[in-house]
A and B are shown apart, each in its own frame.
Chain A
Amino acid sequence: MAGVGFRRWAQALSRGKGSGLSALLPGCRAASGGSKADLPSSYPLTPEAKAAAAKKYNMRVEDYKPYPNQGEGYGDYPKLPDKSQQERDPWYQWDHPDLRRNWGEPMHWNFDMFTRNRVDTSPSSMSWSSMCKTMFGFIGFMMFMFYVGEQFPSYQPVAPKQYPYNNLYLENGGDPEKAPEEVVNYKI
């Protein structure tokens, strides 16, 4: 039995077209795996290619829209709307509840970014313009108030503190050779 297999292998080898290691390996795969037709391929140019690509990605032909063919390497991968998984219905019984996705559904190109732990495109209750107005209004108001505080500073109604030894002339780094300005402080 082993001898028969060995002979068959040698015959296939002599007939084979490949070179190097690929010549030694058998040119067959199990039928259970996906075929090459299941993998993403190049940009679909004809309507038939579009229909085939839509079927491959489990989409309807009218929903299927590839990325524009600008040489960026998307091929025939569908361009899905940029909506995060957080926007999907939380009460529907998804096959994968944490991913909010059903088995076989076409995945967004940036699916790993749009998971619920990451980027979220959910609409906010406040519009962009009103958010901007609120933030810049607050910042502008605070800057104005700080400016007013600089112009009209608040202070205690006291004279400046008096220090001995000619306002600590030597301690403040004054030249010991030069005579300092004489400061006399009085009691009151």
Chain B
Amino acid sequence: MGAHLVRRYVTETDTEPDPTKKYEFDPQFGFEEREAREMVATQDQMNLAMLPLEQRDYCAQHLLKLMKCKRDTFPNLLACKHERHDWDYCEHQDYVMRMKEYERERRLQLRKKRIASQPEAA
């Protein structure tokens, strides 16, 4: 918690990824084959449901199912636990993927620095 801030501002200022800048490494670098993320909900479906833009992500299909369940089971506010869990779990996995992307970028930066400093040492 906050170790990345110490790294970014104090100890490893040149290699720690800057969240405002675009990541510079090729997404396929280091992978044999990378699977693309699949979007299930269509643009028309999201438009009809009038989802706010922040919620039109790769978990939108679970959110649409949840909204339908809530509308169908009102006034029972405790009803849609399964759908809510599915959406929450999808969002959680999305966040974990974001953390992994950040870590990948950080390690590639360190590797780049390591390789750059090797010919000087050798």
Contact = CB atoms under 8 A, between A and B. Distances in A.
A155 B27 CA distance: 23
A187 B102 contact: no
A186 B99 contact: no
Contacts of A157: 4, 99, 102-103
Interface string A29-45: 00000000000000000
B19 A185 contact: no
A95 to B, nearest CB: 68
Contacts of A141: none
A188 B56 contact: no
A184 interface: yes
A165 B43 contact: yes
Contacts of B23: 159
Nearest 6 Cβ contacts at the A-B interface: A159-B101, A164-B39, A158-B98, A157-B4, A186-B34, A185-B37
Nearest to B56: A168
Contact of B43 (A159, A161, A170): A170
A147 to B, nearest CB: 15
Interface residues of B, number: 28
Contacts of A164: 37, 39, 56-58
Interface in A129-174: 152, 154-155, 157-165, 168, 170-172
B67 interface: no
Q: Say whether chain A's binding surface is mostly helix, strand, loop, or mixed.
A: loop
A51 to B, nearest CB: 80
A174 to B, nearest CB: 12
A68 B105 CA distance: 81
A47 B98 CA distance: 92
B74 interface: no
A172 B53 contact: yes
B36 to A, nearest CB: 6
Given A185-B36, A187-B35, A158 B99 contact: yes
B57 A186 contact: no
Nearest to B37: A185
B4 A188 contact: no
B57 A163 contact: yes
B40 to A, nearest CB: 9
B95 interface: yes
A64 to B, nearest CB: 72
A167 to B, nearest CB: 10
Nearest to A172: B53
Given A171-B43, A186-B27, A186-B34, A155 B19 contact: yes
Contacts of B39: 164-165
